[in-house]
Each structure stands twice: as C-alpha cells, then as structure tokens.
Amino acid sequence: MDQCDKPKSLFADNSNSHSDFEVIPDNGQNTMNLSEKLQAAKEELELWQTKIDKLDKEKSDLICQKLDVDERRKQAFQEAAQLNKEQENLQKDFQKAEQFFKAKLSDKQAEGEKLKEQLLQLEDKLQSIRNNCVLLQSKFKVKAVMPEKNIKFIKLEELVPTDQEDEEFLKIKCCYQILPKVPLVLQNGQALITFEDEQVANTILKVPKHHVNLDSGKIDVKVQPVKLDSARKFEVGVDISRKTVKVCQISDSLPEEQMRDKLEISFSKPSLGGGEVENIDYDSSSGTALVTFVEKGVAQRVAEQKKYKIILTEATCCLVTVESMKDYFLQKFQTFNGICKRTVLLTDIKDVLEEEELQDKLEIHFQKPSNHGGEVETLRYVPKNQKLTVYFGEDMEVE
C-alpha cells in the first residue's frame, strides 16, 4: 500500500494536535517497575485487610461489650427498682415504728409523771414517819445517870480455889435495874389524890362526879383514872474484866512499836502495881490500848490507881489514864402503858377558894367513908394559871 493510502487516525487533527494515548514502549525496565508496584499494592492491600479485620474484631468486641453493658444496666435498673421498693417498705416500717415508740414514749412519760407524784407522796409520808420517829425517839429516849458508889467485891477463897477458877470467873458481873419514872402534867383546875388503899381508889372511880361541900356552897368534881404515857423498864448488865484494863491518853511521842514495848515494860513492873503482861492491843491513832495480864486481880489493882506511870526513857516518863474494861449490855427491856393503882385524877375544880383551903376541903371530902372515900396519903391541887409535873414510879399497874 502506498504511503498515501495509510489509514488516518479518527482523532487526527492538524499538525499541532497530539494523541490522547501515549504508547509506552514495552521494555524490560518498565515491566520490572510494574511488578514491584503490584507487589507493593498487594502488600498494602493485605495491610489494609489486616486493619479491616482488626477493626471488625474490635467492632464485634464493642458490640458484645455494649450488650453486656445493656444487660448490666438492665440489672442495675431492676436492682434500683428493688431497692426503691425496699426503701419504701423500710420507710413505712420506720414510720410505723416511730408512731409506736412515740405512743410508748408518751405512755412512759405519763407513767413517769405518775411515779413522780407517787414519789412526792412517799417522800411526804417518809418525812412524816421520820418526824414521828424523832418524836418517838425523844419520847422513849432513856437517860439515866448512875451515881458513883464505892463497891467492894469479896470472894470466898474456900468456895473455889483461884487456880481452879474457869472462864466464868474472868469477869465480875453486875446488873442494874432501871425503874421508870413517868411524868404527868397537871393543868389548872386539876388535882391528884393518892389513897393508902387501892380499893378506895377503885370505889371512888365508880362515882363519876362528886359533890364537894364548901362553906359557901358546893362544887362538882369529876374523877377519872390516871393513865400514863408509855413507860420503859429494863436492866443494864455490866461485865468487868479481872484481867484487862483500858489505857487512855497515851502520848504519841514514840513510834508505835517502841511505845508498845514501853507499855509492856511499864505494866509488867510490880513496883508500879503491875504484873506479867499477856497481851497489848495498842491503837496509836486514838492513843488507847487494852492491856491483858496473866494473873487475875492485877487489872483491878491497876484500875484502882486511875493514873499509871509509863517509863519512856531513863529520864522521862508520862502518866496515862487507866480504868477497868467494862462491857455493857441491855436486857429485859419492856415498854408498856400504865394506870395508877392508888391515885385518882380530879378535874373541873372551880377556883373559888385559896389553894390551901380548897385542898383541905377536897381532902376532907374524899376521906369520909360516906363519900366512898378512905385514908388519903397525899393530895396535890393545881391553882389558877399554874402547871405541875408529877412523876410516877413503881406505883402503877400494867394495862
């Protein structure tokens, strides 16, 4: 074919235009570059595929985690709902318990107020009882002053030899009987009359009112028995030790052990009136001691001195007080109300005469047998605006 007959390109243009496709010459170097590029693209594809697989796995894990979170959230909602329900129940129980305890507290407060009122009443009652106790103590309190008497005790040696005496001879036993003296206060217009015969007093009491003749007329006199307050009768027993004396007013100038030794040495000296010491019970705080001798009778000899010399050093000594060791005890205590046997109380006596004259008229009246009277031992009248306290002894009868 001629060159002029060659086919022309459909896109042929003028000489200045160029083709849209460029034919790359096929040579060995370009082939090598394409293979490397394909290999690099393949490796990069594999890398991206690995990343995609990893992302898919992470996505799956996240989905699983989301499901777990949703499940836990659901459980949390359920637990929260349960807790809310329990809280509501607890709140209701708390309100019920609060109302119950408020009611109980109110009851206890009311009970406390009631107990306070009872306590006040009991305190008033206790105070009243205490006042009565004080009154009774003052009423029944016994104060007896024993007069000092010189008593000499004699023991018959021939009855029981000294070496054969047993424990009952270690003490001298005494007993004092305390007889009551009961007071009675006479008021104005009253009189006490005591008859020699108690039968006369009984007869007089059978006539409740007596008409006593006076020079200017008559007066009516009432009679009644003399009832006395509570009386007390008892015995006081005293045991006097024949072996022990009580020592008082001991000086504290020496330590306790040294003073104990000085006491033992001094009370052991026959030249001072002492004897062999069996035991010393010394109390330094009170300055007293109990000294017990071996032989009976030494204690009596020491107690008679009343003062005893204690030798402290060769140059100094001191005096102590000594007395018999005595044990007191109460026995046969009796409390009773009494009524006089021979004495009668006259009341409603009008003050129309002088004291002595009116007393004579009363005595004359109650001496006459015609007036149921008899021999009068004593009569004591209390005139106007005066009082008289009379004391009764054994002349009364227990009711």
Question: What are the pLDDT digits (tens) for 140-169?
Answer: 555 555 556 565 555 544 454 555 455 556
CB 228 within 8 A of CB 215: no
- Residue at which a domain ends, from 278, 298, 331: 331
SS3 at position 149: coil
Q: Which pLDDT score is estimated for 331?
A: 81
163 within a domain of the structure (yes/no) = no
Confidence of residue 139 (pLDDT cuts 50, 70, 90): low
351 and 204: one domain?
Answer: yes
Tokens of 253: 């100038």
pLDDT digits 0-9 by tens, 203-254: 888 888 888 888 777 888 888 888 777 777 778 888 888 889 999 999 888 8
324 and 365: one domain?
Answer: no
- Residue at which a domain ends, from 106, 137, 168: 137
Among 14-23, 57-66, 326-335, the least confident range: 14-23
Domain CATH for 302? 3.30.70.330
279 within a domain of the structure (yes/no) = yes
The set of residues, in sequence order, having a beta carbon less than 8 Å from that of 371 and lying 6+ positions away, is: 210, 365
206 and 62: one domain?
Answer: no
Rounded-to-integer distance, Cα 257 and Cα 269, Å: 19
171 within a domain of the structure (yes/no) = no
Rounded-to-integer distance, Cα 263 and Cα 279, Å: 11
The total domain count for the chain is 3
One-character DSSP codes across 45-63: HHHHHHHHHHHHHHHHHHH
Strand partners, 317: 311
- Residue at which a domain ends, from 84, 113, 137: 137
Q: What is the pTM of this model?
A: 0.43
Strand partners, 248: 321
CB 248 within 8 A of CB 319: no
153 within a domain of the structure (yes/no) = no
Confidence of residue 14 (pLDDT cuts 50, 70, 90): very low
346 and 381: one domain?
Answer: yes
Section 299-325 average pLDDT: 89
384 and 348: one domain?
Answer: yes
Q: Is the dihedral of CA 267, 272, 274, 277 positive or negative?
A: positive
89 and 74: one domain?
Answer: yes
CB 298 within 8 A of CB 333: no
320 within a domain of the structure (yes/no) = yes
29 within a domain of the structure (yes/no) = no
Q: How far is CA 272 from CA 213, 261, 275, 292, 305, in A?
A: 77, 16, 9, 16, 10
CB 208 within 8 A of CB 223: yes
128 and 100: one domain?
Answer: yes
pLDDT digits 0-9 by tens, 167-217: 556 777 777 777 777 777 888 888 888 888 888 888 888 888 888 888 777
One-character DSSP codes across 347-385: E-----S-HHHHHHHHHHHHH-GGGT---EEEEEE--TT
Q: How far is CA 312 from CA 226, 258, 377, in A?
A: 65, 9, 66
SS3 at position 71: helix
275 and 186: one domain?
Answer: no
Provide the residue range defining the domain that includes 83: 40-137
192 and 126: one domain?
Answer: no
286 and 370: one domain?
Answer: no
54 and 112: one domain?
Answer: yes
Rounded-to-integer distance, Cα 248 and Cα 33, Å: 141
pLDDT of 283 higher than 80: yes
59 and 207: one domain?
Answer: no
Tokens of 398: 């227990």
CA-closest candidate to residue 233, choices 394, 65, 390: 394
Q: One-letter amino acid identity for 344?
A: V
274 within a domain of the structure (yes/no) = yes
- Average pLDDT value for the chain: 80
CB 301 within 8 A of CB 291: no
CB 363 within 8 A of CB 214: no
31 within a domain of the structure (yes/no) = no
